[in-house]
Structure 1
Amino acid sequence: MGSLPRTALRHLKPARGCRCSQFGPRSIVIPSVRDRSFHSSSPQRTDGVFRALTEQRVRTPWIEAFRRQQKEQKDPSAAEEPQEVPKDRQLTPKRMNESYSSVVLPLAQDPWLLDTYLNSSGHIRLGTIFMDLDALSGIIAYKHTGDDVTTVTASCDRITIKHPLTEICDLELSGKVTYATGRSSLEISMQVARAPEAGKNTTDVDVLIDCTFTMVSLDPATKKPVNVNPLVVETPEEKQLFALGERNSKMRKERNKTALIKHTPNDLESDLIHAFWQKQLQYHDPYDDLRKPDNVHFMDTTRLQTATIMQPQNRNRHHFMIFGGFLLKQTFELAFTAAAAFAHAKPTFVSLDPSTFQNPVPVGSILYLTATVVYTDPPLIGPPGEEVDAESKYTRIQVRVESKVRDVEHGKSNPTGQFNYTFTVEKNIRVMPRTYQEFMMYLDARRRAEDVKQSLQEEGREVTPKMAEKSVTE
């Protein structure tokens, strides 16, 4: 195609305020510069992670950190400045409000920011909100511990929908340290709520999500746990939050003691395994008319896997490890996809159940994620003496996402975490295990489902599937 002469180009320039011009028989729309600003480099709009949170996480351009690493010939897994924790570090007790942090996402005001948070259906992508929550938890943790230590996410104890959003609005993310005894771990409680009007406070019905993260502080040089400042608990509300953190800590320890990796299933669970085995025999018995129903699917057929190279744009503040919020987003979206593929229906998020970050994920490594539907409620077979609603219109689906990492040369793999997501679908569908490993995954998921169901009922905030259908989130 030939080029136009300069005089012709000048004729194409619209008059002031005009947004279109004629070029031959077609109309060419020329966007006004007021519509979107131009930059010599792309603005710091990311896929999730609001800029105010990103600035706290990434403080040095990757090229500078990379060149410094090359110059000093440092181990890629080392922190930026691997000095030991000072011997005279002050561990005076701190108040909860000293670590309080909040940020407002102006989603209703800024359509370009909203653009990075929406899916194809116009719903808010919860994975991006989870990224922001993990970034905020880091800010809160360092407010409490100071910069002398390395603080990492050990587990996400729970993320639950409290009151579904029915319209796009500005969101306020806030939280603080609510449990710390002086040892290496601390619990951070956060919430996502409809941003209140100026001069007003957030009410309970405005809260979309609440969650708790457990962080652990390490010596930057030795990577061994170090003590942190204990909390001063003063008001009745603070005492209640601290007691909840203490309960969560005990529950984590109890789960570890009774984990199926260490102990055999209990009597009731053994009965369930036997009942499933008998059901499989019936499905394959030529003399039995019972056959596997169309709404029952074997667990191994629900599996989805991905492999992704870890890029430095998703690094944490220590440069050479991947930001935990990125893993939450990736695992959530794979779990959502697995639930949708399993049910052939749109899943609605219910909760992220207790999930662990086992090992860090280095920049440049290959991350492998495997999602499996491990439990459905109502189940195909219930415990002896317990009635199961076999005709239920809705089904809760629990998806387990396991992650492992290898270097690019594909050396030894290393497990990096396990994430447990629960969704609701408007479908009568069931999952069925048939190997011993699948039975253990099924029983572990069943335990989690029972714990979450009981705690939500105790707190009186069970979100019904009908309520969830109106939500503008995934």
Structure 2
Amino acid sequence: MTRLSASVLRHLRSGASSVKPGRLAEAQKCITARKFSSTATACTDGVFRDLTEARIQTPWIEALRKKQRDGEDPTRASGIPQVPANRNLEPKPMSDSYHRVILTQKILPLAQDPWLLDTYLNSSGHIRLGTIFMDLDALSGVIAYKHTGEEVTTVTAACDRITIRNPLTEICDLEYSGQVTYATGRSSMEISLQVAKAPKEGQTVQEKDVLMTCTFTMVSLDPGTKKPVNVSPLLLKTEEEKALFARGEENSKRRKELKTKSLIKHTPNDEESDIIHAMWQKQLQWHDPNDPLRRPANVQLMSATRVQTASIMQPQYRNRHHFMIFGGFLLKQTFELAFCCAASFAHTRPTFVSLDPSTFQNPVPVGSVLYMTATVVYTDPPAVVDPADSLNASTEKRRTRVQVRVDSKVRNVEHGETKPTGQFNYTFTVDADVKVMPETYTEFMLYIDARRRARQVQASIDKGPLGGRVDPGEGERVME
């Protein structure tokens, strides 16, 4: 479209007749075609367009009018099963669900398309990891439906791990890929995803080019009853597929173990009780008027680290079922709040290391109010020295590993009903010597839970296929 000068547009809007006829027609055409968006049409809503098309299939106004016309609330169970009783649930090969984002050269062309790149950059020119997280959740949905078919409703139940393997040091084209790697025939399935530098035509991705890996747990529901329904189990053909399946089985066992040993059900063990007692004693010493020792300036109380937000959920970020918010949007929002929380705590820009096992508890309806609270719940090295807690190998460089927990809940606009919607656990490193100290019993439980999570994640990395080769967050990068 031809660009018009500001003076021409100003004359048109003021009713002036001094514009030449040719330019006048051109200007009127320009104004008629003006769009609500202030950016180019090549932009997306934060999710790569190939994935957006699978996520949103009907304009919001049409979905809303259908809801009003039918007099039904699609967010609530109708009680009438919609999944056919004779569904084919024969085992499927793992490769059947394999999918990668395809555009031109089977890549996400960030380096080639500046308008696409525009939606992935932040104010400092770094790639927004939160936007990539949105893409990954959208991709996991595409893969899940390739395995389950369209008859069911598939939702994100958990994000078990997002780990940086080899951080990007330059903006380049990316390739997203993944497949279902664990499904036994029940309602849930694990999907393993990978983000890598796009290989040259005819070549495959090299290990050094893998940016990040992650796993999502998806659950299939009957659209009518909202209850879990079975999906096809996997048919394993190769040794590599068997190894991927075994890893998924181990992840499933670990999730169940976390539930059985939850602090809500059981008291802290002896070692953890000793840590709580030692921290409590240290606080007594800091407050003792007869003791000259006071709380160090680099130790902050957990209650002082909290950052909170509230926002109305708009339809532009709905999922493919129209009346619930897309899970990837929640990942993006919680990540960016966690980033702000870590930055406020350390007074420096944090570096993302991993999203540790996190859960989606309840759906978030379009039009509801989402409340998110981010809290620094654990630091390594800790405020009270405990050799068993020393997971960070770079303490001599005064770097601190910071774990931020984001709790989210949703309320209707009238604030008559409240539901928890998820818990998200982000780990960052910061170039600062800072520590967090809990005070109340609730905060001590948050601290111990985060400590358990950090130790389990480290143990799974050390004995896992990565061989401990997870980026510690120390190198230069163009991601944030």
In structure 1, the residue matched to 2:421 is 416
Partner amino acid for 2:420? P
Cα deviation for residue 464 of structure 1 reads 3.2
2:472 is equivalent to residue 472 of structure 1? no
2:206 is equivalent to residue 203 of structure 1? yes
In structure 1, the residue matched to 2:3 is none
Cα deviation for residue 382 of structure 1 reads 3.6
CA contact (8 A) 1:391 1:428 kept: no
Partner amino acid for 1:56? A
Distance, in Å, in 2 between the alignment partners of 1:386 and 1:349 is 20
Partner residue of 2:436 out of 390, 414, 431: 431
2:445 is equivalent to residue 440 of structure 1? yes
Distance, in Å, in 2 between the alignment partners of 1:80 and 1:51 is 32
In structure 2, the residue matched to 1:460 is 468
Cα deviation for residue 53 of structure 1 reads 0.4
Cα deviation for residue 381 of structure 1 reads 1.7
Distance, in Å, in 2 between the alignment partners of 1:290 and 1:224 is 57
2:225 is equivalent to residue 217 of structure 1? no
Name whichever of 100-109 and 435-444 sits farther off: 100-109
Name whichever of 164-173 and 69-78 sits farther off: 69-78
Partner amino acid for 1:68? K
Normalised by the length of structure 1, the TM-score is: 0.91
2:318 is equivalent to residue 315 of structure 1? yes
Cα deviation for residue 83 of structure 1 reads 5.1
Partner residue of 1:364 out of 359, 362, 367: 367
Partner residue of 2:251 out of 248, 252, 260: 248
Q: Secondary structure at the match of 2:474?
A: helix
Partner amino acid for 2:84? P
Partner residue of 2:111 out of 94, 99, 108: 108
Distance, in Å, in 2 between the alignment partners of 1:377 and 1:46 is 38
Normalised by the length of structure 2, the TM-score is: 0.89
Q: How does 1:11-50 map to 2 (within 5 A)?
A: 40=35, 42=37, 43=41, 45-50=43-48
Q: Deviations over 1:92-128 (max 9, x none)?
A: 1101110011112110001111011111111100000
Distance, in Å, in 1 between the alignment partners of 2:471 and 2:230 is 38
CA contact (8 A) 2:141 2:154 kept: yes
Partner amino acid for 1:283? W
Q: Secondary structure at the match of 1:243?
A: helix
Note closer, same or farther for the CA distance 1:79–1:144 as it changes in structure 2 (3 Å cut).
farther
Partner residue of 1:98 out of 87, 96, 99: 96
Cα deviation for residue 8 of structure 1 reads 5.4
CA contact (8 A) 1:187 1:212 kept: yes
Distance, in Å, in 2 between the alignment partners of 1:341 and 1:3 is 48
Note closer, same or farther for the CA distance 1:299–1:308 as it changes in structure 2 (3 Å cut).
same
In structure 2, the residue matched to 1:26 is none
Cα deviation for residue 47 of structure 1 reads 3.9
Q: Secondary structure at the match of 2:156?
A: strand
Note closer, same or farther for the CA distance 1:387–1:161 as it changes in structure 2 (3 Å cut).
closer
Q: Deviations over 1:66-105 (max 9, x none)?
A: 0000001111514899752101100011011100111121
Cα deviation for residue 462 of structure 1 reads 3.0
Cα deviation for residue 6 of structure 1 reads 5.5
Note closer, same or farther for the CA distance 1:10–1:127 as it changes in structure 2 (3 Å cut).
same
CA contact (8 A) 2:311 2:370 kept: yes
RMSD: 2.3
Name whichever of 67-76 and 38-47 sits farther off: 38-47
Q: Which structure 2 residue ranges, 5 or more long, are not aligned?
A: 1-6, 25-29, 102-106
Name whichever of 382-391 and 282-291 sits farther off: 382-391
Q: How does 1:306-345 map to 2 (within 5 A)?
A: 306-345=309-348
In structure 1, the residue matched to 2:242 is 239
Distance, in Å, in 2 between the alignment partners of 1:141 and 1:40 is 35
Q: Secondary structure at the match of 1:128?
A: helix
In structure 2, the residue matched to 1:66 is 64
Q: Secondary structure at the match of 1:277?
A: helix
Q: Secondary structure at the match of 2:177?
A: strand
Partner amino acid for 2:412? D
Q: Deviations over 1:436-470 (max 9, x none)?
A: 00000000000111111222233231323432xx1
In structure 1, the residue matched to 2:4 is none
Q: Which structure 1 residue ranges, 5 or more long, are not aligned?
A: 14-32
CA contact (8 A) 1:47 1:117 kept: no
Q: Secondary structure at the match of 2:162?
A: strand
CA contact (8 A) 1:268 1:383 kept: no
2:276 is equivalent to residue 280 of structure 1? no
Percent identity at matched positions? Answer: 66
Q: Secondary structure at the match of 2:64?
A: helix
Distance, in Å, in 1 between the alignment partners of 2:404 and 2:457 is 14
CA contact (8 A) 1:381 1:388 kept: no
Cα deviation for residue 434 of structure 1 reads 0.5
CA contact (8 A) 1:48 1:128 kept: yes
Distance, in Å, in 2 between the alignment partners of 1:178 and 1:388 is 29
Distance, in Å, in 2 between the alignment partners of 1:221 and 1:385 is 50
Partner amino acid for 1:397? V
Distance, in Å, in 2 between the alignment partners of 1:116 and 1:366 is 25
Distance, in Å, in 2 between the alignment partners of 1:455 and 1:47 is 35
Distance, in Å, in 1 between the alignment partners of 2:42 and 2:365 is 23
Distance, in Å, in 2 between the alignment partners of 1:88 and 1:3 is 67
Distance, in Å, in 2 between the alignment partners of 1:385 and 1:80 is 52
CA contact (8 A) 1:218 1:226 kept: yes
In structure 2, the residue matched to 1:54 is 52
Note closer, same or farther for the CA distance 1:442–1:457 as it changes in structure 2 (3 Å cut).
same
Partner residue of 1:163 out of 141, 166, 178: 166
In structure 2, the residue matched to 1:402 is 407
Question: What is the count of residue pairs matched by the alignment?
Answer: 450
Distance, in Å, in 2 between the alignment partners of 1:414 and 1:272 is 32
Distance, in Å, in 2 between the alignment partners of 1:382 and 1:208 is 34
Q: Secondary structure at the match of 2:112?
A: coil
Cα deviation for residue 187 of structure 1 reads 0.3
Q: Secondary structure at the match of 2:147?
A: helix
In structure 2, the residue matched to 1:23 is none
